[in-house]
A and B are shown apart, each in its own frame.
Chain A
Amino acid sequence: MCSVNTDLSGRLETLVQEAKGKYSKEVREKIVDNIYREAENIAKRTVVKPPKKLDWDGKIDNILTSRITGYPIMLLLLGVIFWITIVGANYPSQMLFKILFWGEEKISTLFYFLGMPQWLHGFLVLGVYRCVAWVVAVMLPPMAIFFPLFTLLEDLGFLPRVAFNLDNFFRKAGAHGKQSLTMSMGFGCNAAGVIACRIIESPRERLIAILTNNFVPCNGRFPTLIVISSIFMGGALAAPYSSLVTPLVIVGIVLIGIMVTLIVSWLLSKTLLRGVPSTFTLELPPYRRPQIGQIIIRSIFDRTVFVLWRAVKVAAPAGGIIWLLANTYLGDSSLLNSLATAIDPFARGIGLDGIILTAFILGLPANEIVLPIMIMGYLAEGALLELDSLIALKTLLLDNGWTLMTALSVMLFSLLHYPCSTTLLTIKKETGSLKWTFLGAIIPLAVSVLVLFILNSISSLLLLMN
């Protein structure tokens, strides 16, 4: 029976061998040409186009992708989006704080009323509930505003124009122009950005795109950046301008991320992944009227709820673990304290502290929970505070020795450090190689430590000179 099968394959093989070398190399192009010619002919007979029309798309594109006006418009739009997000998130955030911490009080009362043991109350309420409440209060408002706005840009067809503007830079960095597209996808989610790298044909350039996708802040990291920047940077200017500072800082952070992407891509294409960039044509899709209703529904249900749920799932056990770590004593100090103290010297060297670094380590499954874990860590250290607003959060951070420099370091570390575990798993799946997955984590980590080290060395040098 198998003979039939090998026979068939064998005969096909003979045909293949016979055909090999029989036809010229240009035959493939000829086939493609013929297909295009036929498509053109059919289109000519079946489509009637209006004679000369106002080409709005072309006119808009000339402005959006011009060398002079393209970049400022891009940055301005990005800044406006962040500004709306930050200003808009403020009020609902305060509401959520009030509601959720009022809830905590009521639950605590219930626990005491029922005579529950102290440790159970600690674990469930001070650990799990509090961490989840922080995630919701801090993350939900910015996400609910940022996602629809971002989706709006996507639906309009603006993102490919961004890619078009950046294409040249990527080619200069030895990477594929389409990496500008996959990078833009990374703003949504790095795991999605890594999958999107499939549109890049050359394996070399695809790997560069995969390994550097992490350098643009994803949805999970934007809220962290927004909160920290509005707490620490917002006050840098007087009242009428203060609301402008935060968006500017975030735009700056995004720009740093893009710059690092380009630099690391360039380094990779000069070392591990050597080669010349291949050419391609980037298609600019037509501008389409966005479907506002769809955008709101989709971005709230698909993205906001999805991302929030993912964060809550990780935050609940993480909150419990943090509480346990903070309340299990070995000798005089809690486990959390010992851990934080152990890594504290290293963390200080790059401008962070033990708790911050612990939060980043425990936050590997989802970047959304990094800030809440930090807060939990500081709270568990004994600072008894009525934490019901962002102002209280600022006090807590200041009490724990945060400065403007710490805030900047945390933002940069959040921007540059290793991708979340979901993204790492995706890299493993896409590259099929442990080596590249490992590099996908180690390269960003090395970059972030290096950047923070340099930054903090310079800042302490400046302090010394003053």
Chain B
Amino acid sequence: MGYSCKSCKKCMLKDNFNITKDKDGLVIALAGNPNTGKSTIFNALTGLNQHTGNWPGKTVLQAQGTCIIKGKKCTLVDLPGTYSLLANSIDEVVARDFLCFAKPDATIVVTDATCLERNLNLALQVLEITDKVVVCVNLMDEAERKGIKVNTDLLAAELGVPVIPTSARSKQGLDELISMVYELATGNITSNPNPIPYDQDLEEAIQELQPQIEALLKGRLNSRWVALRLIEGDEELLEGIKNYLSQEELEEDRVEEKCAQ
């Protein structure tokens, strides 16, 4: 039937995102604002030595490395640091498309404990796309020095996903982070992010669109998030969704055919 290799998820990852995934390996994404220590965490987890710097926008290229967690090979993807996922620039599109279409098994959102409020904007946006998120509150040592206290337990309750405090430069909290990511990626723990409450009129519009979208997408993408993109008219993304759907369809057809034989 001449299936292109684009038709399976493994090759989809390879073709679209240049990621090679092992059969039962995990793909873990690292997202976060610029200059929160994503690269430091990335290096600590992968043993790689990508250069880190006190410099917003340090990682513009998507960096990749592997690490073994509890015997499973994990591909760690260091996404470009962004302040939002609203697709204002190429790096934001790169980060958003990865979370949306590559469907990492878990995503670590690295935040800066010293200015959590600004960092939460991105965390909240990531949580709208995927629920498999561990929020890492990094730079706890620096926050402590400045007398800032973050109640990570309460934060976890507010967000509805696990929150791990770390100080990556001194390697504190990384073990906890890794095991939490593992539990979430393998499905031993499930999370249930609290949706962002929007203004009444927006909520009504979402209520109207969401069921129709859900009927179409059948859980493949977060329907509330897609509804919001429809409302704001992000046509570029909707084009991307269509491409994504056609690739998924091909894959399902093939599976169905195999079953029929």
Q: B-contacting residues of A (Cβ < 8 Å)?
A: 1, 4-5, 8-9, 11-13, 15-16, 19-20, 23, 27-28, 30-32, 34-36, 38-40, 42-43, 45-50, 53, 151, 154-157, 159-160, 178, 181, 195-196, 198-201, 283, 285-288, 290-291, 294, 298, 301-303
Contact = CB atoms under 8 A, between A and B. Distances in A.
Contacts of A50: 146-148
Given A35-B125, A195-B61, 7 more contacts: A9-B242, A23-B232, A39-B121, A157-B55, A200-B89, A201-B90, A298-B52
29 contacts: A5-B249, A8-B245, A9-B246, A12-B241, A13-B242, A15-B209, A15-B216, A28-B233, A31-B198, A31-B231, A34-B196, A35-B124, A38-B120, A38-B124, A39-B121, A39-B123, A43-B117, A48-B150, A50-B147, A160-B56, A198-B89, A199-B91, A201-B88, A283-B56, A286-B142, A288-B54, A298-B51, A298-B52, A302-B51
Contact of B34 (A42, A156, A283): A283
B250 interface: yes
B123 to A, nearest CB: 8
A19 B54 CA distance: 43
A20 B125 CA distance: 23
A15 B230 CA distance: 8
A223 B146 CA distance: 41
Contact of A298 (B49, B91, B148, B198): B49
Contacts of A285: 34-35, 54-56
Contacts of B169: 291
A302 B49 contact: yes
A200 B57 CA distance: 10
Interface string B124-137: 11000000000000
Contacts of B154: 45-46
A413 to B, nearest CB: 30
A195 B91 CA distance: 11
A195 B60 contact: yes
Top 3 A-B residue pairs of the complex, sorted by shortest distance between their CB atoms = A50-B147, A43-B117, A39-B120
B193 to A, nearest CB: 12
B22 interface: no
A40 B54 contact: no
A40 B196 CA distance: 12
Contact of B146 (A36, A53, A159, A301): A53
B153 to A, nearest CB: 9
B211 to A, nearest CB: 11
B117 A27 contact: no
B24 interface: no
A288 B52 CA distance: 13
Contacts of A159: 55
Nearest to B256: A1
A48 B54 CA distance: 25
Nearest to A25: B233
A16 B235 contact: yes
Contacts of B147: 49-50, 53
A204 B204 CA distance: 39
Contact of B249 (A8, A38, A286): A8
B202 interface: yes
Nearest to B149: A48
Contact of B60 (A20, A45, A196, A302): A196
A5 B148 contact: no
B68 interface: no
B230 A201 contact: no
Contacts of B35: 283, 285
Contacts of A288: 54, 142
B155 interface: yes
B216 A12 contact: yes
Nearest to B86: A32
Contacts of B158: 42, 45-46
B183 interface: no
A69 to B, nearest CB: 21
A92 B209 CA distance: 71
B213 interface: yes
Contact of B159 (A15, A31, A42, A302): A42
A155 B54 contact: yes
Nearest to A184: B55
Contacts of A45: 151, 154, 158
Interface in B40-54: 49, 51-54
A156 B35 CA distance: 12
B7 to A, nearest CB: 11
B148 A48 contact: yes
A47 B117 contact: yes
Given A23-B232, A154-B55, A47 B149 contact: yes
B71 to A, nearest CB: 30
A195 B61 CA distance: 8
